[in-house]
Structure 1
């Protein structure tokens, strides 16, 4: 058996293939069969779906061989065009895989096809084929064709004949089964399934990175969604628009004519926006690029009103517009000297044009694509998923947050439209039934607000007449609004708002009772060797003196927090701690516990052992419960060598999270130890794996108070 066939199913892969047995494929097979065929992924997966949609190793192996044979025999390479033409002539007919485009020959009143790689033209096409596949008339589509040859010697004759044509895309609506299958997955599992479907290994992406990747998919599921992504090279900005869907069109170079995009007034022929779900402009950035005023004006009108004109007639369009390009500078440089749209051509660096953008994807947050980022797991056959998303465009989920949240009244109509369209798209992707709880909806709404805020805040920098608005939402029944900030605003507050000066105080206030950053790095107690201690280093007594009753709130997406900053002064010198956290089960939660134990050790008396007792819940799954016990045993063994005695007990009735110490402190932990947003902990080059302060945090509150009934180990 070959390496291609050998593959061990993960629990997620098994669930995927059980729920969607006819519509999934192993994603690494595409790379194995592609070779040097310059053909979109959806074409290859269409072929794989015919022969290798299975988990049986032998069937996969034979299916892959069959697809490879089909490509070898029927895919037309440009340098072999003459050879294929000869085969057609000698055999009388031959089946090929090529990109086909059709034009109307008005002089002869017939449709004629041209074949991109086969390099033949004027092949007569049956009008019925054109009626069923109108995209043939625009930019062409990939097809499996049977080409015939019949030479009679008549003048101006074209001997080629198109006997049959089958577009490489699905034609069935399977939305109902798609929605039913979704019920078998948790939110995290479903997002991972979508990640694997577009070819990525979800384990190497944080929760936020996954959601941002899904925003790239919204144009395929939401009508008239206008989105821009600017960022460094090599982050895969345009990949999904060229490889993912037969309903998308990628325009290379970013420059296009009015006639090709909207309508040719000379012939009356409608352009790309009349036929495609998504029209993406690659390499859209570039200060030296030109664009005619007429094109920009028509694009403004289309983006705002969803129509374009053909003479006196107004034609509706449903295509979403995507603009992707490379930035020339990093974020702080752009904010210091210009704005986040600075890389755009002058004609598009226009507030009136940019105000019609619904969301700005921060391309600088994506890592450069590496080979290990691609998955070998199972995902949807992309043309199946693309067809489902195409049909989901008929639904509108823009109001599904209304029962739970209200947008700020200061938002303009365009601001609200941008937020609602982004939110609707994310809902269709993640909760295609339209049903979700307030807790599930809130992160999607926040991301939608952030995407539009990034646009509007830059417009306020560019145009002084623009009025800043309050990008916030309020929970229904609550009084206090919840503000949403972009990550650039959080990370570079002095640069983000131009009214700030270099003299402004931009550092986050350090709560009383928390070690300053400089001292946080010196957490290992130097009492091991008093002769080496420096007067400037914090002593145990100084750290304990910083511990005071208080309340500390972490803002969503903030940085700069660590366990030492939150707990260091309160655990300093403790010999016994009791940690109650119901969710210490899976690997990232165990990593949190390990980092907590390290923090305890660094703040303890080096000459005294420390006992940490954990009260948590046992995992309800038998297999995962076994893994949970194994990880506890490993932690207990590893940290015993550092003077930490770890014990634990299960209690399925607990809910609240708290930390108590024998030095008299009781700390209420809003989220327990799970304060950090997920990140790619598989990448050891990622500084977030080693430095807690580099990680984004979740919104939560810590309440510190003295415990009159102080713990002692003997009481337990």
Structure 2
């Protein structure tokens, strides 16, 4: 149970060091349900009137906020009604989003009202110089307006701005924020940040808290490429839709290069130039109308710039890709890869996926229940959003270098990804720059895991090019090297430890899709007259031919193997399973021969064995294609022993030594030799 005294103490500290900048989140929920006003506007007003722990003052404040919203908030469909009221009464106060631009033809500033639909309204020079965000996309304001129509000058706009007061944070003192942060412990601060996003940290364990925190990194770090795939109902898109007015959620998936990057006709930069973070909801639906869309996206994700026509443009927006995984992670890891929900032109493009800095394991975040949302104090959304925007100007990418250096399996892209994640997490937890070696080590391990998850999947898709996945870091003082695992990679191997049943074996080869995977053969023997059946191969004629050749070979050569193998008084059924879902293999002649001999002799194959290679109908050895990639799949699938044709020995030079060293390699020089060695017969 959470300690209520500790919570009250934390709330008192918050109200002391951040007066007028915090709000009780249950009040937001209460009013939000009845007013379609942005959360950041609502919380600003609540911060003004309800920054107290006195229930009387809070209730009075809530009533004030409700009254202000009902009287002054402009709904777009009521714009003409408000304008008419302004004309009739001569003056009126509105709450609307106001942006300002300089009309250089008349050398005057003009305001534009978003919901009211007015533009070209003269505004005093004082406001844009005092609140520069009016000039950068606009801010929500309370505006006292007057109406005066001059018969003598009908070209003059009749609307006059008497007084303008921002209801978003007009400016932020980042130094004041950092000084106040120093008054809190790291644990207290993490809870405050999570409550500011609407979550109740007492319902989350430490790992879950960190996974929620890293969702905010695209908002504090420039050009950060983030991916989260997981079950429904875990709040994947909530951060980018509700928490920050500086991020945009692209729903539906379909977009254009002009919309996202640059419109050649209007010469305007797209979403990446206007927002701090562009989030794509439901990655499965991402689709560019332009053929070069994915290519331009790849260029931007790598360099923060893109070319359109003769121009090269720069932008700092981060990308967040969020989507659903509809099956269990164990199944997905066995049968495919963790990027499977992406559309094919992205999910199979290793160059695109290699640019992703962080893959958050969404399946580790619990499904939200009503009590997961906090009723306690957190920062006003708009205040915290602006703090995050200010922190984008700073960098902590080299923070770990004082204490640690990265292992030699990280390439340049891996290093950049880890540095960006470290920088983002420090900005969220230690923005004041005060942290210990232990603090940095914890963040570094977390960052290495988030990038390694990307690399592990690249290895599955792209093979040996992405072999180096054993990420580590080295202590600068002790020179000790620590390796960082990925939780979901352990256990659940396809080729299990221990002795299996006679007639059961595993072979690793290329499937019809072109990918290398694991195939399991299961064999049954019954009394009969030499009939041979095969199942599981569908209509694959080459797989059928390979298995038929195996039985023909046994009919001709079984006496050389053992007198106990009968092809006249026994019937055999061999079932083949495609364990990775990559399409049936045609390298099935030798595995089928060994499987039938195993069941006929009632001898199981060696434990944790993978059978590699094949033979022709005449018994000639066929060496393994892409030996390094095939052995990598063997290792990932849990094989400890590998049966290998002698003809492949020459190719071992292409395999990294540490991969070769992870197996007991057993060479065979003929089909009979392969059978004896697979069954452990000397």
Q: TM-score range by the shorter chain?
A: 0.5 to 0.7
Q: 1:173 to 1:84 in 2, by over 3 A?
A: closer
Per the alignment, residue 312 of structure 1 pairs with: 310
| Pair 1:457-2:456 in alignment | yes
Over 3 Å counting, the alpha-carbon distance change for 1:465 and 1:202 in structure 2 is same
Cα pair distance change 1:167/1:21, threshold 3 Å: closer
- How big is each residue's C-alpha offset from its partner over 1:474-497, in whole Å with a ceiling of 9 and x where there is no partner? 223445532222222135454999
Which residue does the alignment assign to 2:301? 303
CA–CA distance in structure 2, aligned partners of residues 49 and 40 of structure 1: 14
State how far apart, in whole Å, the 1-side matches of 2:289 and 2:132 are.
28
Partner of 1:36: 34
- Residue aligning to 1:597: none
Which residue does the alignment assign to 2:481? 481
Matched, 1:490 2:451: no
1:171-197 CA-partner distances (Å, limit 9, x unpaired): 333222222222222221111111112
What whole-Å deviation, never above 9, does each CA across 1:682-706 have from its counterpart, x for those lacking one?
xxxxxxxxxxxxxxxxxxxxxxxxx
- Give the whole-Å Cα distance in 2 for the aligned partners of 1:481 and 1:217: 30
Structure 1 CA distance, aligned partners of 2:132 and 2:271?
11
Aligned-pair CA distance for 1:337: 3.0
1:75 paired with 2:73, answer yes
- Do residues 366 (structure 1) and 377 (structure 2) align? no
Residue 122 of structure 1: how far off its partner (Å)? 4.7
Partner of 1:328: 326
Given that 1:241 and 1:250 are in contact with CA atoms closer than 8 Å, whether structure 2 keeps it comes out as yes
Whether 1:84 aligns to 2:82 is yes
Which position in structure 2 is the counterpart of 1:189?
188
> Structure 1 residues 368, 162: CA separation in 2 closer, same or farther (over 3 Å shift)?
farther
Please report how far the alpha carbon of residue 30 of structure 1 lies from its aligned counterpart in structure 2 after TM superposition. Answer: 0.7
Provide the secondary structure at the position in 2 that maps to 1:180: helix
Change (3 A) 1:303 1:24: same
Q: Which residue of 2 aligns with 1:580?
A: none
User: Is the partner of 1:446 in helix, strand or coil?
Assistant: helix
Task: State the 1:45 CA deviation.
Answer: 1.1
SS of the equivalent of 1:464 reads: helix
Q: 1:127 to 1:442 in 2, by over 3 A?
A: same
* 239 and 145 in structure 1: CA distance in 2 versus 1, 3 angstrom threshold: farther
TM-score by length of 1: 0.62
What TM-score, normalized by structure 2, do the two folds share? 0.65
Shift in Å at residue 99 of structure 1?
A: 4.3
When residues 346 and 495 of structure 1 are mapped into structure 2, their CA distance, relative to the original with a 3 A threshold, is: farther
Q: Which runs of 5+ in 1 are unaligned?
A: 1-6, 505-716
Q: Identify if the C-alpha distance between structure 1 residues 312 and 480 changes in structure 2 by more than 3 Å, giving closer, same or farther.
A: same
1:445/1:109 CA distance change after superposition, 3 Å:
same
Which has the higher mean CA deviation after the structures are superposed, 188-197 or 242-251? 242-251
Matched residues in 2 for 1:397 and 1:371: separation?
36
Contact 1:335 1:495 in 2 (8 A): no
Contact 1:494 1:500 survives alignment (8 Å): no
| Structure 1 residues 163 and 380: alpha-carbon distance in aligned structure 2, compared to 1, 3 A threshold | same
SS of alignment partner, residue 346 of structure 2: coil
Q: Secondary structure at the match of 1:315?
A: strand
- Which among 269, 290, 293 is matched to residue 292 of structure 1? 290
**Do the aligned residues in 2 keep the contact of 1:138 with 1:271 (CA within 8 Å)?**
no
SS in 2 for 1:199: coil
2-structure distance, mates of 1:237, 1:225: 17
Give the Å deviation of 1:274.
2.3
Distance 1:144 1:341, change over 3 A: farther
Q: Does structure 1 retain, via aligned residues, the 8 Å contact 2:261–2:271?
A: yes
**8 A contact 2:254–2:285 mirrored in 1:** no
Aligned counterparts of 1:493 and 1:123: Cα–Cα separation in 2: 67
Partner of 1:381: 380
Give the conservation status (yes or no) of the 8 Å contact 1:122–1:158. no
Aligned to 1:355: 354
Three-state SS of the structure 2 residue aligned to 1:243 is helix
**Matching residue of 1:252:** 251
| Displacement of 1:114 | 6.6
Deviations 1:76-103 (A, max 9, x none): 3355444334323322343333345789
Write the distance in 1 (CA, Å) between the matches of 2:18 and 2:319: 31
- Give the paired residue count: 496
Distance in 2, Cα, partners of 1:169 & 1:362: 34
